[in-house]
Amino acid sequence: MARIVQKYGGTSVGDVERIRKVAERIKLTRDQGNEVVVVVSARSGVTNELLARAKSLCDEPSDRELDMLLSVGEQETIALTAMALHGMGVDAVSRTGAQAGIFTDKVHTRAKIQAIKSETIEKDLAEGHVVIVAGFQGINEDGQITTFGRGGSDLTAIAMAAAIHADKCEIYTDVDGVYTADPRVVTDACKLSELSYDEMLELASSGTKVMQSRSVEFAKKHNVVFEVRSSFNFNPGTIVKEEVSYMEKVVVRGVSVDKDQAKVIVSNILDKPGTSAKVFRALADANVLVDMIVQNVGRQGIANLTFTVPQGDSQSAVKLLEPVLDEIGGGQIAIHEHVAKLSVVGVGMKTHSGVAATVFQALADNEINIDLISTSEIKISIVIDQDRADEAARVTHAAFELDKIGD
């Protein structure tokens, strides 16, 4: 007997027929003698429907009311999933985020989990129930409903797996696992059977939409081994864990493209201590996620600061920075929204020479212009023109012969 957490995303529970299929899979896991905790998202489309209604009533709905509104999506799914299991004779009980003991901070729409008080879930399991937990949501100390933002249900699953010391955590989605590149763009992309947290993190933050970084970070921090797999078939997926044993020669594990990027250029600012801090403090306070940051210092202590943010945040970034520029003594702001980020990811990349050179050569051979470059231990990211992004992924994938490393 194992203790298993399964998470089903919005497309997996998109309608009653799919919910029934999910229930069948849960029943199978239960019938094998396992304890099962299931985390579900809202039916795909529901969140957008609710948001459309909200926007038609109020230009800028308050975060608190958005959480009140959006949390109903998962609440519907947990009840329906529990009912589907009942219909199959399986003991099951649904739990809202609050009932599951998921406590968060007070930041609405982007709440962070502070603690999971798992007494109720443990009791449910001890009584023989399959427990269906609403993903994406929690409760704060004031009794307010909070939500976690995009990818929130993955976070619920990973955090729940950590809290109840699950033996396995399975993230069911609409793809078979993590690929060396987006198979819709790079047709010969291969599925990876294993991946380290760090590689998954870099892939996630680089636009591979399988999971959000925060969930992978949480898994890494709490050492939760998880498997990304499809709810539509029984193929093995990709297992993500701390240590992965690769063949020596495999360095680059994947190529990804993130088109939801805007480049913000803050130019002609005084290069003195504290200037950058003020800029990024203002963005951080407003929860704007800054990705790549590049700074050049030019003539006479005048600096140019360039960074990327999600496209939806670029306008508010400008609004936030205008008063900061006044404070730090002037400068100009410009946005380029038509960019994309290409990332090449692999543990041990730094110790293998030539990875960067191979990328740059592949792009140069195809006359794709490089705008910004940023590197980490296991990743090289390059900002390029959005229109060339898919082509860039294909030529880079080919340059590293990634069609040959999968399973």
Residues at the interface with a copy of itself (CB under 8 A): 16, 19-20, 23, 50, 53-54, 56-59, 61-62, 64-66, 68-69, 71-72, 75-76, 78-80, 82-84, 86-87, 93-94, 96, 98-99, 143-145
CB of 126 to a copy of itself, least distance (A): 16
Q: How far apart are CA 260 and CA 386, in angstroms?
A: 9
Report d(CA 2, CA 101) in Å as an integer. Answer: 22
Q: Which amino acid is at 82?
A: A
- 72, two tokens: 């109903």
Question: Nearer Cβ to a copy of itself, position 72 or 164?
Answer: 72
Tell me whether residue 72 or residue 290 sits nearer to a copy of itself (CB atom). 72
Nearest to a copy of itself of 77, 180 (CB atom): 77
Nearer to a copy of itself, 47 or 314 (CB): 47
The nearer residue to a copy of itself, 78 or 303, going by C-beta atoms, is 78
386 touches 234 (CB < 8 A): no
Cβ atoms of 263 and 383 closer than 8 Å? yes
Residue closer to a copy of itself, measured from CB, 108 or 191:
108
Of 8 and 197, the one with the shorter C-beta distance to a copy of itself is: 8
Residue 206 CB, nearest approach to a copy of itself (Å): 34
Minimum CB separation from a copy of itself for residue 30, in Å?
Answer: 16
DSSP E strand stretches across 11-136: 35-40, 92-95, 102-104, 113-116, 130-134
Instruction: Show the tokens assigned to 79.
Output: 């009840």
For the four alpha carbons of 284, 289, 292 and 295, in that order, the dihedral sign comes to: negative
| Rounded Cα–Cα distance for residues 263 and 291 (Å) | 10
How far apart (Å, rounded) are the C-alpha atoms in residues 95 and 117?
A: 13
The residue (of 18 and 263) whose beta carbon lies closer to a copy of itself is 18
Q: Of the candidates 391, 372, 370, which has an alpha carbon nearest to the alpha carbon of residue 255?
A: 391
Q: How is residue 360 written in tokens?
A: 């740059």
Write out the two tokens for 269. Answer: 């600012």
Separation in Å, CA 288 to CA 105, 261, 385? 17, 12, 23
For the CB of residue 97, give the shortest distance to a copy of itself in the complex, in Å: 12
**Least distance CB 160 / a copy of itself (angstroms):** 18
Residue 130 CB, shortest distance to a copy of itself, in Å, is 13
Q: Are the CB atoms for 382 and 342 separated by under 8 Å?
A: yes
* Local structure of 270: helix, strand or coil: strand
**Least distance from C-beta 67 to a copy of itself, angstroms?**
8
Q: Least distance from C-beta 57 to a copy of itself, angstroms?
A: 4
